């Protein structure tokens, strides 16, 4: 049996309290000490660490707010890859595969799990030990690949997804943008905030609905 792998993430992102400011700028107020151990579904610990580092270069924590590590983007990607998406359950996979024709998007044979496995390996085991500019140079070198396109897209998804998918921890991504979550109604507000920000404390879909829900990747394993 496969040994259970974990990734250790800073509790600051995963469990720390974020104070919500009306300008949409989140401030980490009460970062807990210590780490959270998150069990991995697809990645090995080594792979997960490379992905954490790469996503942080794509969407870094900086002066405009928190980044991919704090949002737990790696957990989102890990869950997606372990679900039906990761094994192409819903992709058209009949041959022949013709990757030479331009304009079609990805036409290859490999599924997202395979693309990540190879892509992460290519970034190098030592990726996590490099400094920022050196990591950027390695990412720059693969910028044209489908793996990078996926990594970038999944980083954005993991930043701003509903937290049930594993990313957007503490709704950190939604606070960054001032997005209130999937609220059921703006009928009272519509037409009343002309050029004026409407910013409320965001809520997850589960909080809004008031009953437990499960994402697709949990209902249907890949």
Partner 1 sequence: MQTLAPVDVVIVGSGWSGMIMGKEIASRTPLSVLVLEKGGGFRGLAAYGREMDEVDTFIRKRQAESPANGLVTTRASSRARANPIRQYGDFPWVGCGMGGSSDHWGATSPRFMPEAFEIATHLKRLHGASKLPPNNLIQDYGITWTDIEPYYTQAEEMMGTSGKAGNLNGKKIEGGNIFEGPRSREYPNPPHPMLYAPQLFAKAAKELGYHPFPMPSSTLSQSYTNPDGISRIGCQYCGHCSLFGCMVGAKASPNFTLLPIALTKKGFSVRTHCNVRRVVHKGAKAVGVIYVDDSGTEYMQPADAVVLAAWTFNNARLLMLSGIGEQYDPMTGKGTLGKNATYAVHVGLEFFLDRPQNIFMGSGGMATAIGDFGGDLGDEGAAEGALRGGLIFCYTQGDPPVISAFGVIPDGEVKQNWGGEWKNAAVKWSDRYGTFLSTENHFPYRQNYLDLDPNYKDKWGDPLLRVTMDWTDAERKQAAFISRKQVEIAKIMGAIAINPRPVPSATSGPPLMVNNHSHGGAIMGASPASSVVNPYLQHWNIHNLWVVGGSALPQGEEHLTLTVAALAYRAADAFINVYLKQPGALA
Residue ranges in contact with partner 1 by CB under 8 A: 57-60, 62-65, 67, 85, 88-94, 96, 98, 101, 103-107, 136, 139, 143, 152, 155-157, 160-162, 164-165, 174, 176-180, 182-187, 189-191, 193-198, 205, 209, 213, 215-216
CB of 35 to partner 1, least distance (A): 25
Beta carbon of residue 162, minimum distance to partner 1 (angstroms, whole number)? 5
Q: How far is the CB of 169 from partner 1 (least distance, A)?
A: 15
Q: How far apart are CA 58 and CA 148, in angstroms?
A: 10
Identify which of residues 4 and 100 has a Cβ nearer to partner 1 in the complex. 100
- Looking at the Cβ atoms of 33 and 188, the one nearer to partner 1 is 188
Q: Helices 132-141 and 45-58: crossing angle, nearest 10°? A: 90
Is 8 or 218 the residue whose CB approaches partner 1 more closely? 218
Which CB, 45 or 220, lies closer to partner 1?
A: 220
Q: How far is the CB of 13 from partner 1 (least distance, A)?
A: 16
> Which residue is associated with the tokens 């002066």?
63
Judge contact between 70 and 37, C-beta under 8 A. Answer: no
DSSP characters over 71-95: HTHHHHHHHHHHSTTTTTTTS--PS
**Rounded distance between C-alpha atoms, residue 218 and residue 206, angstroms:** 15
> Which residue's structure tokens are 């589960």?
206
């Amino acid at each position: 049996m496969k040994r259970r792998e974990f990734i250790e993430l800073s509790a600051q992102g995963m469990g720390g309290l974020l104070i919500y400011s009306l300008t949409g700028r989140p401030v980490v107020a009460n970062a807990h000490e210590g780490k959270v151990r998150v069990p991995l579904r697809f990645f090995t610990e080594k792979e997960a660490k490379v992905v954490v580092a790469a996503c942080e270069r794509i969407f870094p924590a900086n002066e405009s707010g928190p980044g991919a590590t704090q949002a737990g983007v790696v957990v989102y990607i890990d869950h997606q890859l372990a679900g039906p998406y990761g094994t192409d359950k819903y992709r058209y996979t009949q041959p022949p595969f013709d990757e030479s024709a331009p304009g079609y998007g990805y036409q290859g044979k490999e599924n997202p799990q395979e693309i990540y496995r190879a892509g992460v390996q290519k970034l190098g085991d030592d990726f996590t030990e490099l400094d920022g500019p050196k990591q950027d140079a390695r990412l720059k070198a693969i910028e044209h690949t489908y793996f990078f396109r996926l990594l970038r897209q999944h980083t954005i998804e993991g930043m701003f997804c509903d937290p049930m998918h594993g990313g957007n921890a503490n709704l950190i991504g939604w606070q960054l943008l001032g997005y209130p979550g999937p609220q059921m109604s703006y009928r009272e507000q519509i037409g009343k905030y002309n050029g004026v920000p409407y910013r409320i404390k965001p809520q997850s879909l589960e909080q809004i609905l008031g009953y437990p829900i499960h994402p697709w990747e949990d209902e249907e394993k890949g």
